[in-house]
Each structure stands twice: as C-alpha cells, then as structure tokens.
Amino acid sequence: MEGLELSGVTVRYGGRTALDRVDLRIAPGEHVALIGPNGSGKTTLLRALAGILRPSEGAARPAGGLTREEVAKRIAFLPQEEHWEFPFPVEEVVSCGRYAHAPGLFRESVEDHAAVDTALAAAGVAALRGRPITELSGGERRRVMLARALAQRAGALLLDEPTSALDLEHRHAVLAALRDFRGSVVLATHDLDAAAMCASRVVVLAGGRVVADGAPAAIVTEALLREVFRVDARVLRDGDRIHVVS
C-alpha cells in the first residue's frame, strides 16, 4: 500500500483557477475528509489525485506516472454523479470494478466473484443484485456505485459526496463501511458530522487552497464555520465526535 500526494498542484479551467499550488500528502491507510463550500476545489482535488485530470502545474503521485489500468488497481474513484442509460443488472455494474484485475475481456475468476459478493454485502445492496440499475432510486444507485468501488479492492478509495441521497440507516451503514476500510480513504463531503465519523483528519479548502488541516475536533470550530462557510452554527462535542447545529 502506498500513499497519495499532490505537490504544488495547480489546475485551471479556462481562465479560472480551481486549485492553486496545493501540497497534500495522504499516508497509507489514512482517512481524510475534504470539506469546504461549493466551488472550493474538492472535486478537482479528488480528480487530480485519481489521475483523471492532469494538473496545469505540479504533480500527482502515484497516479501521474501510471497507466489507467495501473491506477485502477491502486485507486478506486466514486464520482459525485453517474448516469445510466441501459438497464444493466446491479451485479454486472459492480463487476465493472474488477476489469483492471481480469485476465482477459469478459473472463471472471473465482477471486472476482468473491470480491463482487463481498462488495455487494458491504454496501448493503446484495438483495438488489439482479435489479436493473435504471430502476433503482438515487440512494440505491449511490450504494451500488460504492459497491463497485469496493470491488476494485484498491489500496485507496476517493469518494465525492458518498452519502448524498442516502437515508439515515444507509448513511450510517456506508460511513461504517468507510471507517472499517483498511486502506486510504479521501472523501469530499458537505456532511461535517460524517467527516468526523469516518475520518481522523479534515482538510479544509477555500478558493482552491488548503486553509486548514488537522484532527476534526481541532479544525471544525464555530470560528471556521463563520470564516469559510459564512454561517453561524454551534459545534457540539461528544468525546472525539462533533455535531454541527445550525
């Protein structure tokens, strides 16, 4: 297992700078939450770490020096949105996470089947395995996408808003699965309680720059919420857990 790193990464879209000289290292097995207002650069940072986009300046490691197949064996990426036009069965969708490991096209090993079964169970969608992806609710599709990422058995999970569209029961189940994941986890989220629940470190982005970095209880404060999110809210603490009340 290896860590993830951005060194002096700048990303520009046309004339807009989405990330501005970001330095960030994620240690092997570390769980990190990215928080910040809309447009702060969270999604761009994840895409740079995953090697999906090439920085205008700087370097992303290890993704920047690997082929797409090599990246897929090391890093699983869950985007914020996906659109499915064809009614593929859920099990087939989750099996897509095994493509980088398959010995040949359309050939699945015993290990592939085991990885898919384990991922379906971990994401709580085993009962949906035969259902068409197009017939599922938004929350159900979200959990299927998580199962696909888990099926990759990569050393790092990069997730963009993994709890969006989830009800309370499945939100807690997904966060528990992420908390128990043994590899590195980097999740972008607006759910500050979720960030504190499954991450030991919070990185705060604003204007494409890292403005705070540390343990959730130390970083998520009422002063930070006013400065970065421009809201007045209370931060309640219960041991190492935090709860934000607006």
Q: Residue 129: inside a domain, yes or no?
A: no
User: What's at 54, amino acid-wise?
Assistant: R
Q: Residue 99: inside a domain, yes or no?
A: no
Q: Residue 213: inside a domain, yes or no?
A: yes
pLDDT at 103: 66
SS3 83: coil
pLDDT at 105: 59
Q: Residue 95: inside a domain, yes or no?
A: no
Q: Name the band, by pLDDT with cuts 50, 70 and 90, for residue 43.
A: very high
87 burial (CB, 10 Å; 0-12 / 13-18 / 19+) is exposed
| H or E, element range at 71 | helix 68-74
Look at residues 114, 142, 117 and name the one whose alpha carbon lies nearest to residue 129. Answer: 117
pLDDT per position as a tens digit, 128-144: 999 999 999 999 999 99
pLDDT per position as a tens digit, 174-220: 998 899 999 999 999 999 888 888 899 999 999 999 999 999 989 99
Q: Residue 54: inside a domain, yes or no?
A: yes
Q: Residue 128: inside a domain, yes or no?
A: no
pLDDT at 68: 84
Q: How many domains does the chain have?
A: 1
Provide the residue range defining the domain that includes 241.
4-84+158-245
Q: Name the band, by pLDDT with cuts 50, 70 and 90, for residue 1.
A: low
Q: Residue 92: inside a domain, yes or no?
A: no
> Looking at residues 7-11, what average pLDDT do you find?
97
pLDDT per position as a tens digit, 19-29: 999 999 999 99
Q: Residue 212: inside a domain, yes or no?
A: yes
Contacts 24+ apart (CB under 8 A), 13-21: 17/208, 18/44, 18/208, 19/44, 19/45, 19/48, 19/55, 19/208, 19/209, 20/207, 20/208, 20/209, 21/57, 21/58, 21/209
Can you give the CATH number for the domain in which 182 is found?
Answer: 3.40.50.300
Rounded CA-CA distance 221/16 in Å is 30
